[in-house]
Amino acid sequence: MLKAQSAYKGIVSVGTKFHAPYTADALFQYNMLNKFIAGKRFENRTKIPDAMIMNISLPHYIGALLRKLPLIGHKLPYNIISDKLFDVFAKNKMCDVDFFIGFNNYSLDQMKKSKNKATLFLEQRIAHVQTEQEIYIKEFGKLPSNLSSLIIKRKLMEYELADYILVPSQFVFDSMVSNGIPEEKLILIPYGYDPGVFYKKEEKTTTNEGLKVVFVGQVGFRKGIRYLLEAVHNLQRKGRDIQLTLAGNIDNNVMTLLESYKDSFIHKKFVPQKELVDIYNESDLFILPSLCEGSALVTYEAAACGLPLIVTHNTGTVVTNNHDGIIVESGSTKSIEEALEKLYFDRGLLKDMKFNISNTIKEYTWDKYAEKLVTAIVQRLKNL
């Protein structure tokens, strides 16, 4: 472990929550946190004293309200208002520090104020915005309302202002490079999980009975739900006992699709964390065939519970294909179907993958994330 650092102090700022509490907690553990500005109130399970956490939650609630309005929520860029408001409010809370970590789309004004005063790190949770556009246009023929031209412009300006950009996966790294971001500007640090919360319970006996598959996340098109349901339905029609559980809120845009496959899955809307751990431990494998992601936290959590992963490269995974999971082609029903059928029949391989994933995931706790993050920041600051 690194010795506690005290020469540098920084601010972490995010317009909602995401994994930012762990980012701020990493800095706090090494005596490098000045303050944590969050746009959404959260249960503080970190070591950060409440006095160091500044909540600016009004913009988040405004955005949530606008999103529910029929015209604005589906046709107008509701998030440009809430995200800009947070950025302006947070800018007024800035102070002199050595570095700033801001989350993409929430940080433009804060970065402008701090440019040439602090080293700017931008947290890029998802693929480059140009890659996002390409995926949406290819898949849906249009962009969602929350990816308006104004939002795209903000994101691009943040890329330009940042001294360094934190990316969580090779998929995001490659998307940035392919869109002209210099490699030396990028810092690849995968996310993590809390082993005190997510862990493997009693060893589940691998049998030749039905295959229990779990999907966790918003049930929507971006997560590849269309291709997953098609694949599971096709296998069930062939007599394969695939038992699919979808855990997460449903995007209104997929309601018609879900109705078409209502006999192919069971749905759990809100799943408390403790129950989610139980669902993971009762399942055989986890699946998330996302079209565009950063590095989904649920993949780390499922892996911590001993589940091999079926994911796309775009999910931002830490698994190695055919070792501790299977990486399927994005947007391919056939690829998902083949992966599920492979593990359905080869329970020996499934057992091996469970063993392997339990070893792989040990390297991705939040404590290890903290060490990697702090090391990367200190190295860059020392080179100034």
pLDDT at 375: 97
| Residue 153, domain extent | 10-192+365-382
Give me the CATH number covering residue 174: 3.40.50.2000
Contact 117, 123 (CB under 8 A): no
Tokens of 31: 């005596």
Alpha-carbon gap, residue 162 to 185, rounded angstroms: 8
Do 238 and 162 belong to one domain?
A: no
Alpha-carbon gap, residue 300 to 347, rounded angstroms: 22
Q: Which among 219, 105, 82 has a CA at the least distance from the CA of 156?
A: 105
pLDDT at 204: 60
Do the bridges between strand 186-188 and strand 164-167 make them parallel or antiparallel, or are there none, so unpaired? parallel
Q: Is residue 255 part of a domain?
A: yes
pLDDT at 75: 62
Q: Is residue 282 part of a domain?
A: yes
pLDDT at 1: 43
Alpha-carbon gap, residue 225 to 331, rounded angstroms: 10
Do 171 and 215 belong to one domain?
A: no
Do 258 and 160 belong to one domain?
A: no
Q: Is residue 42 part of a domain?
A: yes
pLDDT digits (tens, 9 = 90+) for 164-215: 999 999 999 999 999 999 999 999 999 999 999 999 997 666 556 899 999 9
Do 241 and 165 belong to one domain?
A: no
Within the chain, which residues score under 70 in pLDDT?
1-6, 70-76, 203-208
Do 89 and 135 belong to one domain?
A: yes
Q: Is residue 243 part of a domain?
A: yes
Q: Is residue 231 part of a domain?
A: yes
Contact 341, 326 (CB under 8 A): no
pLDDT digits (tens, 9 = 90+) for 333-343: 999 999 999 99
Do 60 and 166 belong to one domain?
A: yes
pLDDT at 205: 60
Query: How far is CA 245 from each of CA 215, 266, 282, rounded to the nearest angstrom?
Result: 6, 5, 11
